[in-house]
Structure 1
Amino acid sequence: MKKTYRLGLFLGLASWLAVGLLLALLAVIRTGQQLDSDAQRVADGLTGQLYRQQSDDPAAAQSLLQRWDLAWLEVRDTQKNTWLAGGQGVAAPAWFKGLYAAATQPQHLTTSHALFNYQLNFAPQRQALLQDLGMIAALWLLGSLLLLLSHRQVLGRLSQQLQRQLAQLLDQNEVVEGPLPSVTDGLHQYQQQWQQRLDELQRATENLARQASSDPLTSLYNRECFRRDLTEILQTEDQGQSHYLVMVRASSLQTVNELRGHAVGDKYLQDVANQLSRSLRPLADSQAYRLSGSDFAMLIRKNSSQLPNLLGRELKQAFDGKQLEYELESVAFTGITLFRPGQSPEEVIARADLALARAQTGESNGSYYQEGSDVEFLQGESHWKRVIMEVIEHKSLVLMRQPIQSLSIANHNYHEIFARFIGREQQSLPTETLLAMAQRHDLLVKVEQLIIETIVQKYPSYASPGQRWGINLSSSALTSNAFLVWLERLLLRDVTLAASFVFEVEEDLLDRNLAASRRLFELMRRAGSRSSISKFGKGLASFRLYRELKPDFVKLDPSLLQNLEQESTNQQFIRMIVELSHRMGCVVVAEGVEKLSEKQLLENMYVDAIQGYLVAKPAPLTDPVTAPHLDVLGASGGR
C-alpha cells in the first residue's frame, strides 16, 4: 500500500513540476518576443535620429543613449571618422545571452552618411523575466507543499485504519473487514506468514538454547547449566529445604579408550549417561549433567532421606551389569551429599568430591553418602593421599598381563604388564583415579617405583624363558632425575634380567620432553633393555622421534585403527610407518585390535604384531594365557 501511495505522490509532484516548467518556458518565450520588438523599434528610431543629427558632440551621443535605452553607441562616417561614442548600463549576463543569443548580439546599421554600432540595454527585460520566474517557482513550491500535505493526510488516515486492523489481528487473532478488501486480504496472508515465521523462530531458538546447554555426546546438560542450576537452588529463600548433589565418575574411560578405541569409549560414556537419566525419571524436578570427560552430576530437589541408599544401590546394580558387559574392573562410582540453600557452591561441590573419593576407595561401583558440611575444600584429595600412601606402604597391588600376538616369525614372546591397586578392605581401587591423584600429590614416581620393583620381583617366577615384559612409564618418571638414577641402578644389578624388559612411553610425552627422552633411551640401551613408543603415529612429527630416539618397538595409536577398512588415508599412513620402521630395524605393533578383519588387513600391511581383545584380554599374572594359537612376538633382533 505504501508503494502505491508513494507512486501517486511522485506522479503528482512530477505533473506539478511539468506545469511549472511550462509556465517558465512561456515566460522565456514572451521575454524573447519583447526583446525582438524592442530591438526593431530602437533600430528604426535610432536610424532616423542619427540621419538628422550629424555631429561629433558627445552630448548628442549621451542623449541618444538615454532616449533609446542603449548600453553603448558608436557612430562613424563613411571614412571611419567617429561622430559619436558613448555608453551606459550593464552588459547582459551569460545566462541571459544564452537564452537570447540573437537579440543580445551587438547591432550594426548603415546609412548613406554614417555607420554605427550599438548594444541594447536589457536590464528591464532581464528584471521582468527574473520576477516572472520567481513567481512561477513560488507557485510551484506552494502547490507541491499542498500536494504533500494532502497525500500525508490521506496516508495518515489509512495508516491509522490499518493499525486498528493490525491491533485487532494481534489481540483477537482475526482481521476485521476494512474499507479496502485487498488490504484486508493482504493482512490475512500476513497473519499466516507472521505466525509461521514466529513458530520457526521459536523452534530455532529452542534448538539453539538446547545445543548451547547440552553435551553433544550424551545429550545431558553441560557444566555451565550445572553451575547455574546449583547456584539458583542455593540462592532460594527456603533455607530449611534440603536437596541432593550426586557426583558420578566413569572410572575406566582411559582404559576403554586405550584398549578398545574411542568409539567404544564414547558408547561407554553414553551407557553411563543413559543410566543416570533412567534413575532420575521417578524423581520430580531433577536433572543430570556431564561435567567433564568422565565426570557426571545429578541435582535432586526436595526428596526424602531414603534417597541416598536407594539411589546408590540402584546405580551399583546397573553399573555391575555394565562391568560384566565391558569386562572392566569397575564402571562408575557415586558420591552423594546433602545441601541446603545458603551454602556456597564450592562447599557443596567439595563435600560431593569427598563422597566420591571415599566411594572410589570402597567396593567396586559403590557409592558413599557424605551428609556433614564441616569439611575442608580439598578434603577429598587429602583422603586420596592417605589411600595412596597406604598402597605404597603395604605394596597393595596386583599385576595384570596382556599378550601380544606375532604376525611373523619371532624368537621371544612379549606381554604388556599392568598394575591394579587394592584398598584396605581388599577392594579394587580405580587405577586411573589413583594415578591421577598420585601425580597431583607428587607421589606418582613412588607408585611407579613400587610397580617396577614388583615386576622385577615377580619376573623370575611368572615369566616363561625368553619372555619380554612391557612396562609403562609416565611423564613424572621421564622428567625425574632421581627416578632415572634409581632405575639405572636397578637394571644394572642384573643385566640379563634387564634385557627382558621393554619400557613403553607415550609419543606425546616423549615429544614434549625430548632431552629427557634421549637420556632415558640411552639409559635403556646401556642397561640392555628395549624401548617402545606407544600411541605412535599422531602426525608427521612422529618421524622425528625415529631419528632422535631409535626405538626398538613402536605401538600404533589406536585411533589409526578406527574404521580402518574404510579409511584409506590411515591405511597409507600405517604402510608408511611400517616401511620406515622396518628400514630402521624397528618392530611395529598395532594396539586395540578387536576384529578379525582388522587383523587380516594389518597382516597384509606387514604389521609385525597385534594387541587387543581379539588376541587376549588383560588377566592376572597368576592366570594362564587363554588366547589360542599365539605365535608370540620377538624383539627386533630376532626378525
Structure 2
Amino acid sequence: MILFADLLVFLGIVFLGLGLKPAVQICQKTHEIGWQILLTLIIAFMIGYSLFLFYLLSIRTITFVELGMSAILFGGSLFVALVVNYSLKSIGKIDDIAQLERYNAMHDSLTQLPNRHYCMQQLDKRIERRTPFSVLLFDVNNFKYVNDAMGHQFGDMLLRQISQRLSMILPKQAFFSRIGGDEFVVILRTGGRRPIEELYTVITEELSHPFNLGEYSIIASISTGVSIYPEYSTEKDQILKQADVAMYEAKNSGCGLYFYSSDLADKAKEQLDISSQLTSALHNQEFELHYQPIVNTRYNSLYGYEALIRWPQANGTFISPEVFIPIAEQSHIIRDITDWVVNQVILDMQLFHESGIDASIHLNLSAKDLNSRALFNNLEQLVKSDQLNANRLVLEVTESNMLKDLKNTKQVLQALREIGFKISLDDFGTGYSSLTLLRELPIDQIKIDKSFVSGMHRSEADHAIVKSSISLAHGLNCTVIAEGVEETELMVLLDTANCDYVQGFINGRAQTLEDIIFWTKQHQLKSAI
C-alpha cells in the first residue's frame, strides 16, 4: 500500500511537470497576472509534492489518511495538467481565429493582396523612415466594359489573374496592394524616375500576354499615376491623391504613365475652379450654342447642323468644351447641361423654321446621359407634348461613351429610336470596337473621325479605311458624315466614295445662331429634308 501511495504522489509530480511547460507558454502569450500566479502555484505544488513523497519514503507504514492524501494530490495534479493543456489549445485556437481576422482585415478577399487599410499603414511606416519612396497607382483600362459585356465573374477572374501575374514580376521589396475596384497600388523603395519607367515597361509587357477568362481571351492595359515622396508632399493622403490625379492624366492623355508635378497640381486647381463655376454658369445662362453646317455637296444642299456648346468669358475668350465637359461629366451637372442644350435647341429650331430653314440638328450625349433614364423621360415628354419633332434631332454618341455601359446604352438608344430619334456614332474608327457597336447597337449613321478623313488624300491607308467605312455603313443602311473636311480635294474624293455628307471648315466653322442663319442664306443652301 505504501508503494501505491508513493506511485500516486510521483505521478502527481509528473503531471504537474506536464502542466508546467504549457503554463509557461500561456504566460508568454497572455502576460496576464492570473496565469503567472497559477505558474507560481504549480512550481510550489511540485515542491510540496516532492516533500510529501520524501516523507512517504521515510516511513515504513502509512495510514488511510496518508493514502487518501496521496490520491487527492494525484487527482489535483491530473486536473491541473488537463486544464492547463486544454487552456493552451483553446488559446491557440483563439489566436488562430484572431490572426485570421487580422489577415482578413488587412487583405483583399478577392485577390488576397493587402487592402487599402494595410496600404495606408505601409505609407505611415515609410514616411516615418524619412527615406524617398514612390507610389504607383494604376487601374485597368475599360474594366467596366469587361464587367458589363462579359459579367462580373469574368471581371473578378481578370483582377485575380492580374494580381497573380504582377505579384510574380514585381521586386521583392515592393509593396503591392489592391485598394478597391480595379485600382492597385505599388510602393517602391526608390524616388528615381528611371527605375519606375523600367518597371512600368515590364508590367505592360506582362499584361500584353492574353488573359484566359473561360471562353474569352483578352489583353489588359493599365493607366498609371506616380507620386514621389517627399518631392511634393509628406502626408499619406495627399501622396495617394497626387498619384490618383496623375493616373487620370495618364488615362486622359493616353500615355499610360504619368508623374505628378506642380504643373499637374495647377491643372487640377484649374479644373476645381471650373467645376465650382459650372453651376453658376448654367444658372446665369452663360453658355451659348454655336452651329456648324453639315452639307450634301453633291446636291449643294443643307443636311443639318451640329449644335456645339460654348462658354464665353468676360475677357472675350472661351473655355473650350474639351476642358469643361469632361469636368462636368465627373458630376451630375452634365445632365443639367444636356437639358439646357436640348431646350435651347428647341428654341433655335423654331427660329431656323421662321427663317425658312428646316434642317436636322445634331446633339452630343455624354456617358451619364446614356446611363440615366432622365434624358429619355425628358425627350419623350417633349415629343408627346409636340414641343419637339424627333425626326429633326440626331443624337450623337461617341464609341468610348457607349462602351462605359454597353448593355444599358443599348436599351436607352433603342428606346430613343422607337420614339423617332436617329442615332449617330461619332468618332467612328477611333476605338477598338467600332464594328461590334455597329452590329450590336441601333445605329442610323456614322461620323468618320477627322483623323482618317483629313489625311486620306495623302495616305492610301486612310483613303482605304474611309472608303471601306462608307461601304460598310451603307451595307448596314447607315448614312455617313465625314468630319474634318478642309480641302476641295477631300470633297472630290469623298464624293467619289459616295459619302453622304461632309462637315468641316471648308463649309464654315461653328457660328452663333444669327451668323449661321446669315451664312446659310448667303450660300443659298436649300434644306435636304
Please report the TM-score for the alignment, with normalisation by the length of structure 1: 0.40
Q: Which has the larger radius of gyration?
A: 1
